[in-house]
Structure 1
Amino acid sequence: MFIILELNYTFGTKEAQPEEDPSVAARLARLQNDYETSGMRRTVEGVLVVHEHNHPHVLMLQIANSFFKLPGDYLRPGEDEIEGLKNRLSERLAPVTNNYNAVTNSAGGSEQNWEIGECLSVWWRPNFETFMYPYVPAHVTKPKEQKKIFLVQLPEKKVLSVPKNMKLLAVPLFELYDNAQRYGPQLSAIPHLLSRFNFIYEK
């Protein structure tokens, strides 16, 4: 399979988007509260691959100069995962127009102009803890969160706007590979997940 990697994209900024939870403990507490009312949380994230010097890079958000994450977030109950991921990508990365009611890109597309590809991996949170696994442990019958990571193809001439309190970094695959100590097991697994693709580099 092939992935066409674009170099023709630009960055802008927009208003800050503070994180809903000020700490990991607060996020887990909210996860538990949400679980009691809505059941298992469903989260979607996107792997946006670009290239620099003919080497694949993954776009990641950096928060507080230390925490790295893929763009995306949790879904509302009953929300479709593909449409939900498009909405989350637009909320995080699409530029805001002058009327502040819609987002657009330089190719004239709408906020839904995200090319969502196949699901690369599924991660499971068995308990109200930080650990997630690429499988459901045998003793777990009611996991607390399911996270799906999708491949996202960037359209040509895409404009990305980053909240002022975050950074959007292009991290090379060689930096992610076998580097769980810095990026965690989910992000460091991305080079393995992409290894079956052939990359076509375009300017």
Structure 2
Amino acid sequence: CQERPRTSPNKKPAPPLLPRRHRRQPPDPGKKEPAPGEAKAEEEMVGAPSSPVVNVYPLANYTFGTKEAKMEKDTSVADRLARMKVNYMKEGMRTSVEAILLVQEHNHPHILLLQIGNTFCKLPGGRLKPGESGEFLVAQLFYHISLIWYHHESLAVHSCDWNPAEIEGLKRKLCSKLAVNSPSFPPNWQVGECVAEWWRPNFETVMYPYCPPHITKPKECKKLFIVHLTEREYFAVPRNLKLLAVPLFELYDNVQRYGPVISTIPQQ
């Protein structure tokens, strides 16, 4: 039999060899070594989720004026729901878009709201026309995707939460509610991210931030978009409306005053 080699009791055994992919490679003489701070910053940036930045400017930077009145089509909530039911029978689901305009006052973000009368407040926006809703564009999109898939079978197509028609419809509504009717002050609406979707299952005032699974034919889909304001803007408000800058802390959980849609904006 073969005799085992003798080892000294004070000598430590050699560590096992690591696989080749875990071995430390010799430094490349042509590669520049990063500074200690740069290496750590690069490690922190890898895999970090990118979030959009919203620049908020002081309320005093903006100029506010008035223009001709915009009369509401409905005098009560019951009339609005009845008109919605009639339009649903003709055009299908109602799609509406609203804008979140942020300004700064007293070192705190404020949201611009339109006040009708003395109690009711709403975000600037409104209902889209049938051609501006996403249903027609989705049909066109699937048609073009099928052609692309036919020619490029390995192409991956990712869906999005909005379409250009909804963006243009929101700009049209903002021009109607807040833009100055003068070529000297052209509006520059920079519509950004869609931050919320609310669904109306029935012809009622109740809306949910999701479409219930048992509802196959919702009556309305409302989308909220961040609109990035520049440092200087000119607004013209209809004479029968008031433009208020409401702080986020007042909106938070204040359902009785502002409703479920506006009161949950600070949480989004």
TM-score by length of 1: 0.88
The answer for the alignment partner of 1:197 in structure 2 is none
User: Which residue among 121, 135, 156 is the counterpart of 2:196?
Assistant: 121
User: Given the alignment of the two structures, is residue 86 of structure 1 paired with residue 171 of structure 2, yes or no?
Assistant: yes
Aligned residues: 183
Structure 1: tracts of 5 or more residues without a match: 98-102, 194-203
User: Given the alignment of the two structures, is residue 27 of structure 1 paired with residue 80 of structure 2, yes or no?
Assistant: yes
Aligned residue type for 1:94 = A
User: Given the alignment of the two structures, is residue 73 of structure 1 paired with residue 126 of structure 2, yes or no?
Assistant: yes
TM-score by length of 2: 0.67
Identical counterparts, % of pairs = 60
**1:126-141 equivalences in 2 (<5 Å):** 126-141=201-216
The answer for the alignment partner of 1:200 in structure 2 is none
Deviating beyond 4 angstroms after TM superposition, the runs of 4 or more aligned structure 1 residues are none
The answer for the alignment partner of 2:114 in structure 1 is 61
Cα-to-partner distance string for 1:154-177 (whole Å, 9 max, x where unaligned): 122101111010100000000001
Q: SS where residue 82 of structure 2 aligns?
A: helix
Q: SS where residue 185 of structure 1 aligns?
A: helix
Q: SS where residue 50 of structure 1 aligns?
A: strand
Cα-to-partner distance string for 1:44-75 (whole Å, 9 max, x where unaligned): 00000000011000000000111010000000
Cα-to-partner distance string for 1:10-68 (whole Å, 9 max, x where unaligned): 11001110101111111111100000000000000000000001100000000011101
User: Given the alignment of the two structures, is residue 4 of structure 1 paired with residue 79 of structure 2, yes or no?
Assistant: no
Aligned residue type for 2:63 = T
Q: SS where residue 54 of structure 2 aligns?
A: strand
Q: SS where residue 162 of structure 1 aligns?
A: strand
The answer for the alignment partner of 1:168 in structure 2 is 243
**Residue 156 to residue 104, structure 1, CA distance change in 2 (3 Å):** farther
Following superposition, the deviation at residue 96 of structure 1 comes to 1.3
Q: RMSD over aligned Cα, in angstroms?
A: 1.0
Following superposition, the deviation at residue 104 of structure 1 comes to 5.3
User: Given the alignment of the two structures, is residue 156 of structure 1 paired with residue 231 of structure 2, yes or no?
Assistant: yes
Q: SS where residue 124 of structure 1 aligns?
A: strand
Structure 2: tracts of 5 or more residues without a match: 1-50, 133-164
More helix by share: 2
The answer for the alignment partner of 2:98 in structure 1 is 45
Higher relative contact order (CA 8 A, sep 6+): 1
